Amino acid sequence: MSRSIRFGTRSIIGTIVIAGIGLAIAGDAAPVDQQAVIAQLQPQQFLIGRWRGVGQVRRGSSQGAWQEKVEAIWELSKDRTGIRWTAADGKLWKSALLTAGTDAQSVVLRVSLPDDTIRDYRGRRDGERLVLESDPDGQQDVHRVTWTQLGDNRLTVLFERRGINQSFFQRVAEVGYQREGTRLAAVDGNGPECVVTGGLGTIAVSFEGQTYYVCCTGCRDAFNDDPKGILAAWEARRQKKAK
């Protein structure tokens, strides 16, 4: 999601990361309830995969436009659980972690900017959109990111900014993404289930002679670390759904 763009002395570089249940925005991370975070982030499961992005400072203008590639995977560890979004050659952001907030609809976005500084956003899902705002930064600017899903294969991320004493946000740039390997047709939702998150399984893993599927390399690593625990949790979810 990004390219090199200059916005004067107040150059902004956005990034997307969400920190959540049990994850302090600033300070030491505490253990998290992985299954609770995974369940709360199911509306964002569609992000998992690889994306091609085109960024524009002004809509419909090629001046200052750029291209980028992004990969999103589940990051599953004892102190951090969420969707890790990493951009190759990103200009507005470097990486991000999306995780659950304090209620069913809220999310927290922690962004690593190209200069390695961190910006935190908070917000919530509104239909097909995630709308998140930051606290004022050192220049007394508030930053807003609007993440809009356009079907299974496309999404846009709009970056905006306003001064702390201003009422309206001004556009900084927008990045449009297309899922790698697809056109405008919808993704076929039929297929094996990821035993870690319940998403669409695309990577085969095996345990005790049986083959299972996961949706990304993050889930693959989590499965390989604890296959018995993952499969036990998966079976429990299946039995709960069947009731």
What's the pLDDT band for 35 if we cut at 50, 70, 90?
confident
CA distance 131 to 143: 11
Containing H/E element for 85? strand 81-88
Q: Which fold has domain 34-179?
A: Lipocalin (2.40.128)
Q: What is the pLDDT of residues 166-202, one digit of tens each?
A: 999 999 999 999 999 875 434 445 678 999 998 888 8
Q: Is 209 exposed, middle or buried (0-12, 13-18, 19+ CB in 10 A)?
A: exposed
What's the pLDDT band for 211 if we cut at 50, 70, 90?
very high
pLDDT for res 189 = 52
The pair of three-digit structure tokens given for residue 38, joined into one six-digit string: 């995974």
**CB–CB of 99/108 below 8 Å?**
yes
Considering the entire predicted model, what is its pTM? 0.77
Q: What is the pLDDT of residues 73-112, one digit of tens each?
A: 999 988 889 999 999 888 899 999 999 988 878 899 999 9
**CB–CB of 134/148 below 8 Å?**
no
Q: Where are the domains of the chain?
A: 34-179, 203-242
CA 97 to chain CA centroid, nearest Å: 6
CA atoms within 13 A on the CB side of 170: 10
**CB–CB of 89/69 below 8 Å?**
yes
